[in-house]
Structure 1
Amino acid sequence: MGSIRRGLIGGVTLLVPNSAAADACQQQRPGWTGGQVSAWEEVIFLAQTPIVLALLIATALVIRLRSQWGGLIVVIGWSIFTYMLIATQIFADIRAEGCAGSPALFIGLATAICIGIVLYTTPQTGRQK
């Protein structure tokens, strides 16, 4: 019974935010005031990253030029970035601490951008030119 109890106590201590998570918050989000971060604040934070800014510029160019191959490259770029948000554990510690919000709203916006690019850059067959 003692080994089960020690295992349970050890497992519960892993769930409690620790100083390593607090240090991760100070390194990743230096302006964090200690409150819970909402989904909109997370969207604003993620939209300010250099990768997203480059993807937004590339998206604007693809829409302006109406390039199918460029659209494919940009959609792949958005997909890779959102995959990195979901699959990697970069933000796992700081989400547990509360200094990072859920990226679900950002992923939804990125998905909407990708759908818009695909629909906008499809060939226009059957129309009078």
Structure 2
Amino acid sequence: MGPVRRRLTAALTLLPTATHAGPCAQLRPGWTTAAGEQTAWAETAYILTSAPVLALATLLAIALIFPRLWLALPVTLLTLGFAALLYVSRQAPTAAAAQVEGCLATATPAIALLALAAILTLARALHARRR
């Protein structure tokens, strides 16, 4: 029974589980199954507090304070481009596998907030230009 049990134990340790599988180890290295599934609100907070989004938020704030079209247009395009990149990256097979495992949730609320902020920034600059 000794060699059979050793082989079964070795085979069981090699089976992929949520903590051993590849997508979560690549996308969220610090995530464990003990943390539970990622919710849409937690995912939105995770995305909105990332370095690129904070840089974009700073640029959006500057463009809102100084409503100039030459400033608002590139900032809007950068923000919409990042939102599109975020949307496309969630269509990848790795992201789909990570969503099944629970370490990745939908990014739709964060994408919607980014797009809304970008469009409002551009609308404010266009409105200030008409005055």
TM-score interval (norm. to shorter)? 0.7 to 0.9
User: How is 1:54-73 mapped onto 2 (pairs within 5 angstroms)?
Assistant: 54-73=55-74
In the alignment, what sits opposite 2:117? 113
Alpha-carbon distance in structure 2 between the residues aligned to 1:75 and 1:95: 29
CA distance in 1 between counterparts of 2:108 and 2:118 reads: 15
1:44 and 2:45 correspond: yes
Equivalent pair of 2:38/2:103 in contact (CA under 8 Å):
yes
Q: Secondary structure at the match of 2:111?
A: helix
Q: Give yes or no for the alignment of 1:101 onto 2:102.
A: no
1:55 partner letter: L
State the 1:19 CA deviation: 5.9
Unaligned runs of at least 5 residues, structure 1: 1-17
Flag the structure with higher helix content. 2
Question: What is the root-mean-square deviation in Å for CA atoms of aligned residues?
Answer: 2.2
**How far apart, CA to CA, are the structure 2 residues paired with 1:72 and 1:95?**
34
Tell me how far 1:124 sits from its aligned partner: 4.3
Equivalence for 2:31: 32
Which ranges in structure 2 are unaligned for 5 or more consecutive residues? 1-15
TM superposition shift of 1:24: 2.5
**By how many angstroms is 1:82 displaced?**
1.3
Equivalent residue of 2:103, what SS?
Answer: coil
Distance 1:83 1:27, change over 3 A: same
State whether residues 39 and 101 of structure 1, in contact with CA within 8 Å, keep that contact through their aligned partners in structure 2: yes
Post-superposition CA distance 1:10-48 (Å, at most 9, x none): xxxxxxxx5698233123223323222111101111112
> What amino acid sits opposite 1:104 in the alignment?
T
Please report the TM-score for the alignment, with normalisation by the length of structure 2. Answer: 0.71
Cα deviation, 1:46-74, whole Å, max 9, x if unaligned, reads 11221111100100111111121211111
**Over residues 78-126 of structure 1, what are the superposed CA-to-partner deviations in whole Å (9 max), with x where a residue is unaligned?**
111111112232633322321011001111111210221122111443x
What CA distance in whole angstroms lies between the structure 2 residues aligned with 1:96 and 1:82? 22
Q: Work out the percentage of aligned pairs sharing the same amino acid.
A: 28
Question: Between Structure 1 and Structure 2, how many residues are aligned?
Answer: 109
Asked if the contact 2:69–2:129 (Cα under 8 Å) also holds between the matched residues in 1, the reply is: no
